[in-house]
Amino acid sequence: MSKIYYGVAYYDEYMPEDRLEKDISLMLETGINVVRIAESTWSTLEPTEDEYNFYHIDRVLDAMHRAGIAVIIGTPTYAIPSWLALKHPEVMVTTVEGQQKYGPRQIMDIVSPVFRRYAENIIRALLEHVQHHPAIIGYQLDNETKHYDNIGRYMQEGFVQNLREKYANLDQLNQDFGLDYWSNRIDRWEDFPPVENTINASLACAFSRYQRQQVTDYLAWQASIVREYAQSHHFVTHNFDFEWRGYSFGVQPRVDHFTAAKCLSVAGVDIYHPSQSHLTGREISFGGDVTRSLKHGRNYFVLETQAQGFPQWTPYPGQLRLQAFSHIASGAAMVSYWHWHSIHNSFETYWKGLLSHDFSRNPTWQEATTIGADFARLSSSLDSLRADHDVALLVSNEAMDALNQFKPGDAKTNVYNDIIRRFYDALYDHNIALDIINDVDESTARYKVVIIPALYAADDGLLERINRYIELGGRALIGFKSGFSDENVKVRHGAQPGLLSHVCGVSYSQFTLPEEVTVTASVPDIDCSHDNRAELWMELLTPLPETRALLRYQHPAWRDYVAATEANYGDGLAMYVGFLPQPFLICQLFDHLTRGISLRSCTSRYAFPLIVKRMKNSHGKSISFVFNYSEKPQSYHCEMGGYALLTDTEVVEGSSLLLNAWDFIIIES
């Protein structure tokens, strides 16, 4: 790709009056060069079965083409028309809450043959119709696809069939999953009960994995249909999303991004984040790191992010710019707002677009025009940025599922994501840039450090590969609960943390919840005088003789136990942390782990709210972004000299630059 895409989702269908030409003119003024259309408009495209209406599609394609604005066509399958729900109630997904009722989007059974038939039909009808239009640059499959907690007949039957193919006899399944417990044993495949209400975490997690596999298969199926029509220069993408806590948070539990992305030519993502005084850039960075990693570091599309968004997100002056360039600094090749205009009816009336309901040139829109201009002006410097990090964070849908089956204490949230984000955020704030990985293999050797929090369920192979990574010189920070259970969520019955015990030089037989427990440091370079509270979980660690104790618990009953250790193994270094530390302590543990080596991933000695991202551009130049994520002005002492792209001025190494509230600078070196 050769330029930065600046886009919006555009819905001619939803307009209270015909505004197409006015909108396009305003888009050109904004610097918009791409629009997403069609992805939620099945009922408009096919108002009754087998009757099609391409009025809006055609006129938007034609008008955009005339204006030089590129178009992404979305397949319209994530919201079904009422006639389909009425004619075939079985296309509505069944969850533990029962069968869903018509109204919302994303309520279909994606493994239902009937749904597949109708979905294929509308995709083919649409693509047949538009395939040769010159405005089109690519296709988006569906929208934030998930399995929608499907426990329907096809999902259940498919799951059992899948197990049958894996297990020649049920004895092994009963043994692997521990089904003898509470009389859950199954001795004939015909007796296999619905998984829906199981109390067996092994079964529940296997089912969850199977559900995610159906998302992968569904997207691959759509991709294969789309590719029958797409031209060779058209990309095929999809907008992945994340766990939703009112904003994008951590790993998506219902999709395996890494396998699902295989069918795409470009990875895409939707990133929504807190704003105003809560804007930190953490979600932009996390979401970007995940998505960039899906295609081995290649640039990705931010297909949706907020312009004004929720009422509490209306951006402060400067924030929209800060956000847009933060996406670029993570490797995005497109920043596209959901959506152009604020919608006048229905569910998302208060999820505001770039334009308010009045279509006027509001202050947020005005700021967007400066972004559009800067994207155009700086595109040759910024359009193909590549990361070159030597730190990676390992995430795993399987570990998430398993850990969340056994949440510590009163935890109600997705604890796995709490933990992952605790580590990620601490390192982000510490200006450690990283890649996200979902496996460890030979290619992992390119990272000097791997962070492995809460790898609760993992097969022996993965644990052995981690050990091998360390043996060959890698340094790993391994978090509590890692290695505890195998790929079937059966707790290992040898010493814990399983196969990691040996390499980490540590073991434990007991654990508890920390209640007013703090830690003290056993080494001089770690400061535990504050932020020393142990949170969530604590393993009562016993180090082997050669293992170095780093931290100990402070508590009358547990003071004999170690809280974190470090051990040499082969040419590498294994740090094990038996509890959830506070962010300040995570940073210190990281610094301790990496003492004596220099890291490209360490982008600055400054810390949040001054965030520094460093990328390489297509001309081989180093591009440093320095972001002020606060409303307080910040002084930045330039660590590298270079050229300030936005202001067209020289930057002298060692000089000081002042960043105003929510401001940033970009330095080419």
Interface positions, 244-263, toward its own copies (CB under 8 A): none
Cβ–Cβ < 8 Å for 564, 552: no
The residue range among 265-273, 282-290, 405-413, 458-466 that interacts with its own copies, by the rule CB under 8 A, is 405-413
Which two tokens mark 153?
Answer: 């007949």
Q: Which of 376, 369, 333, 373 is nearest to 354 (CA)?
A: 369
105 is in an annotated binding site: yes
One residue of 18, 22, 68, 102 binding its own copies per CB under 8 A? 102
The residue range among 61-69, 180-188, 457-465, 566-574 that interacts with its own copies, by the rule CB under 8 A, is 180-188
Rounded Cα distance, 496 and 498, in Å: 4
Rounded Cα distance, 628 and 610, in Å: 5
Contact flags string 202-231 toward its own copies, x per CB under 8 A: x-----------------------------
Hunting for tokens 């193909």 — which residue is that? Answer: 384
Query: Is 105 among the residues that bind its own copies (CB under 8 A)?
Result: yes
Hunting for tokens 């995940």 — which residue is that? Answer: 290
The residue range among 11-19, 62-70, 382-390, 593-601 that interacts with its own copies, by the rule CB under 8 A, is 11-19
Interface positions, 487-546, toward its own copies (CB under 8 A): 488-496, 509-513, 515, 537, 540
Which amino acid is located at 196 in the chain? E
The torsion region of residue 548 among left (phi > 0), alpha (psi -120 to 50) and beta comes to: beta
Query: Is 619 among the residues that bind its own copies (CB under 8 A)?
Result: no
Contact flags string 286-315 toward its own copies, x per CB under 8 A: ----------------------x--xxxx-
One residue of 129, 185, 295, 502 binding its own copies per CB under 8 A? 185
CB of 98 to its own copies, least distance (A): 10
Which two tokens mark 210?
Answer: 């199977």
The residue range among 126-134, 323-331, 349-357, 601-609 that interacts with its own copies, by the rule CB under 8 A, is 349-357
Strands (E), 307-376: 332-338
Catalytic residue among 46, 144, 243, 283: 144
Rounded Cα distance, 412 and 248, in Å: 18
Query: Is 242 among the residues that bind its own copies (CB under 8 A)?
Result: no
Catalytic residue among 39, 243, 283, 304: 304
Rounded Cα distance, 584 and 285, in Å: 19
Residue 144 annotated in active site:
yes
CB of 393 to its own copies, least distance (A): 26
299 is in an annotated binding site: no
CB of 105 to its own copies, least distance (A): 5
The torsion region of residue 55 among left (phi > 0), alpha (psi -120 to 50) and beta comes to: alpha
CB of 296 to its own copies, least distance (A): 35
271's CB contacts (< 8 A; 6+ apart) are: 242, 248, 283, 284, 287, 288, 302, 304, 305, 327
CB atoms within 10 A of CB 63: 17
Cβ–Cβ < 8 Å for 284, 271: yes
Query: Is 99 among the residues that bind its own copies (CB under 8 A)?
Result: no
Residue 535 annotated in active site:
no
Interface positions, 359-388, toward its own copies (CB under 8 A): 359-360, 362-364
Inter-CA distances, 287 with 162, 250, 321, 331, Å: 32, 8, 18, 11
Query: Is 55 among the residues that bind its own copies (CB under 8 A)?
Result: no
Hunting for tokens 């052995």 — which residue is that? Answer: 464
Interface positions, 552-581, toward its own copies (CB under 8 A): 556-557
Q: Just list the catalytic residues.
A: 144, 304
Annotated binding residues for substrate: 105, 143, 313
Annotated binding residues: 105, 143, 313
